A and B are shown apart, each in its own frame.
Chain A
């Protein structure tokens, strides 16, 4: 399924943000600040790339910290824990092993399916085409994953709020399931090794598929992929002062706030 843009003449402006690493709290606050500005028409539709320093675990909106995360282990390893605005599962965002993207657009954007489930495939097409440019035959797998050689290489999560769509997701550059499961709760210790083996079997990474990771090349490939999939022209830009101020406020009131983190 392809996004059917009504006409290229629509010339909907798109902004490209290539950001470096930031904390989990800043990353999630910035994504929401952009979303709120896009729906109010104060910012253009936005494609953003970013990383995580320090490494962090993000939880889906409906998950419980107590059920999913070994907080003592996270603390000992200097790993932050954040609750996302989006549903889905717990993700370990490794400082060196991941590039993250976010895509923000109004819900009324031409061609975007009303059903969230359908729109994952439309919006993920940019990533599929991006991986192709890296020489990787990727395919979308419902509900919200992208596979290469039958293994997951990207997980995605979407929210629709305030009249807008925010979809963010991972581009796995390197995977270390042993570290990952040292931070996440496992049902019982006996199956920890089995879970680690399971991830090795079901999850891959750009390094594993290509032998090396050129982060700049990955980002460039994804930019080209989204440009083609959405039939858009991306203009490099920056966060506005208003977005930065809102992000700072959302970080304090929400993402770095214990009440939000321990909400469920």
Chain B
């Protein structure tokens, strides 16, 4: 589990999907702030803020991230060009970069 402090980012092109970008602020292995950007689609669009809020305060482990992202995807939201695993993947990519 990464414990680095500071700001980090990553880009990840989903195979057959869209480009995901993430900016993270990490303190002691916990997400302090996160912004997900890219050329994907999400309906409703404003749900992106719920996703970012859910991920804030979450420790950077695959299990903890996956639990939050899965709960988000289980709600009435359509994401096109990336799935739950891609979002967890890019966050861990940024955290370990």
Asked if A116 and B80 sit within 8 Å, CB to CB, the answer is: yes
Which label, helix, strand, loop or mixed, suits the secondary structure of the B interface?
Answer: strand
CB of A12 within 8 Å of the partner chain: no
Please give me the residue from chain B that is nearest to A64 by CB atom: B37
Q: Are A89 and B44 in contact (CB under 8 A)?
A: no
B78 touches A62 (CB 8 A): no
- A158 near B41 with CB under 8 A, answer yes
Cβ contacts A146-159/B at 8 Å (1 or 0 each): 00000000000111
Residues of chain B with a CB closer than 8 A to A187's CB: 11
A68 to chain B, nearest CB (A): 9
Number of contact residues on A: which range applies?
20 to 34
Once bound together, how far apart are the Cα atoms of A64 and B48, in whole Å?
A: 14
Whether B43 pairs with A116 at a CB distance below 8 angstroms is yes
* Residue in contact with A62 in the complex, picked from B11, B17, B44, B45, CB distance below 8 Å: B45
Query: Which of A62, A159, A161 is close to B40, meaning CB atoms less than 8 Å apart?
Result: A62
At the interface, yes or no: B81 with Cβ under 8 Å from chain A?
Answer: yes
Which of B37, B42, B44, B80 meets A63, CB within 8 Å?
B37
Q: CB of A223 within 8 A of chain B?
A: no
User: Are B37 and A117 in contact, with the CB atoms below 8 A?
Assistant: no
Q: Is the interface of A mostly helix, strand, loop or mixed?
A: loop
In Å, the complex CA distance between A157 and B43 comes to: 12
Q: Separation in Å of the A117 CB from the closest CB of chain B?
A: 6
* The one of B18, B19, B35, B78 that contacts A116, using a Cβ cutoff of 8 Å: B78
Question: Do the beta carbons of B78 and A115 come within 8 Å of each other?
Answer: yes
Taken residue by residue from 83 to 105, chain A's Cβ proximity to chain B (1 for < 8 Å, 0 otherwise) reads as 00111111000000000000000
Q: Categorize the interface residue count of chain B.
A: 20 to 34
Q: Are B80 and A64 in contact (CB under 8 A)?
A: no
In the complex, chain A residues whose CB is within 8 Å of the CB of B11:
187
Cβ distance B44 to chain A, nearest Cβ, rounded Å? 7
Chain A residues with CB under 8 Å of B39's CB are 60, 62-63, 87-90
Chain A residues, Cβ within 8 Å of B43: 116, 159-160
Beta-carbon nearest neighbor of B11 in chain A? A187
Q: Does B93 contact A (CB under 8 A)?
A: no
Checking B17, B21, B35, B42 against A87 with a beta-carbon cut-off of 8 angstroms, the contacting residue is B42
Contact A157 B41 (CB under 8 A): yes
A264 touches B41 (CB 8 A): no
CB within 8 Å of A: which B41-97 residues: 41-45, 48, 78, 80-81
Q: In this assembly, does B36 line the interface, its C-beta being within 8 Å of a C-beta of chain A?
A: yes
Q: 1/0 contact trace for B9-21 toward A, CB 8 Å?
A: 0010000011101
In the bound complex, how far is the Cα of B10 from the Cα of A67, in angstroms? Answer: 12
CA A252 to CA B39, docked complex, whole Å: 25
Find the residue from A62, A64, A90 having the highest chain B CB count within 10 A: A62
Q: Which residues of B are at the interface with A, using a C-beta cutoff of 8 A?
A: 11, 17-19, 21, 35-45, 48, 78, 80-81
Question: What are 17 A-B pairs at a CB distance below 8 A?
Answer: A61-B45, A62-B40, A63-B37, A63-B38, A63-B39, A64-B35, A87-B80, A88-B39, A88-B41, A116-B41, A116-B80, A143-B17, A143-B41, A159-B45, A160-B43, A161-B45, A264-B35
Please list the 3 inter-chain residue pairs (A to B) with the smallest Cβ-Cβ separation, ordered nearest first: A89-B39, A87-B41, A64-B37
